[in-house]
Amino acid sequence: MPAPKNRFKQALKTGPAQIGLWVGLASPYVTEICARRGFDWLVIDNEHAPNDLQSTLAQIQAMGPTAAEPVVRVPIGETWMLKQMLDASAQTVLVPMIDTPEQAEAMVRAVRYPPHGVRGVGASLGRASHWGAISDYMDNANDEICLLVQIESALAMKNAAAIAAVDGVDGVFIGPADLSADMGFLGNPTAPEVIAAIEGGIRDILAAGKAPGILWPPEDAQRWIDLGARFVAVGADAVILSQAVHALRARFA
């Protein structure tokens, strides 16, 4: 029995655009609620949310019976972090703050077993191989890992085409918040200069034959789908809860 097929990775190649949601409340219960609402993918955020390996694993397990794909964003592109998340059965990972093709190449090596990479070999202890029950897991694992790299600086946007062209990178996610800050528009990702940079980045990624992605409010997310974005997150659990609670209380102000 080979490694499980990665439906999300295949969908990035064949379409349609995959619609996702950020989950940052670090709650398997909340994540399961979101996963059962029809989203194609959920980002379990370890960069800006209070998640760790244990809470990430619990959320992956909560998503198991659903059709939503777990996308695990690590805090930083460290080989040991990726190794732990992969062994815990994450098949799709998102690595933030990638500025150069050389950094992207290092992440490709981090998620692949030798001789094609440097992922540590310990599958018999991991949920990914069903603790060794998938006897040929390591023979097929490289093919089913989906590596998404996040570009979110002016330098990264300049290098977007070269980063996307790296063999083993499956998708390139544009981070509007950090990008706008780096471009001098902190808190204003809709500045014309930022929008132009994102548009150019999506075109460069598509030209390299890879899938562009972005997080954008639902009111205007369709513009990026129309431009060619293949995986688009349209909200975040913490924001949705905060706004809904605020609106409810305001009704009785």
172 domain residue, yes or no: yes
2 domain residue, yes or no: no
The pLDDT tens digits for 48-105 are 999 999 999 999 999 999 999 999 999 999 999 999 999 999 999 999 999 999 999 9
Alpha-carbon span 176 to 194, nearest angstrom: 8
Alpha-carbon span 190 to 106, nearest angstrom: 32
Alpha-carbon span 250 to 13, nearest angstrom: 44
Read off the CATH number of the domain in which 97 is found: 3.20.20.60
Which residues, 6 or more positions from 85, have their beta carbon under 8 angstroms from its beta carbon?
53, 56, 72, 74, 93
Alpha-carbon span 219 to 199, nearest angstrom: 17
125 domain residue, yes or no: yes
Q: Is the pLDDT of residue 1 over 70?
A: no
Count of the separate structural domains present in the chain: 1
Angle in degrees, 0-180, between the axes of helices 53-63 and 28-35, rounded to the nearest 10 = 30
Q: Which residue out of 48, 116, 130, 246 is catalytically annotated?
A: 48
74 vs 57, 169, 184, CA distance in Å? 13, 16, 26
Mean pLDDT of the chain: 97
1 domain residue, yes or no: no
The pLDDT tens digits for 214-248 are 999 999 999 999 999 999 999 999 999 999 999 99
The pTM of the full predicted model, rounded to 2 decimals, is: 0.96
Structural domain including 211 reads 7-250
Query: Is 48 a residue of the active site?
Result: yes
Radius of gyration of the chain (CA): 18
For residue 15, name the pLDDT band (cuts at 50, 70, 90).
confident
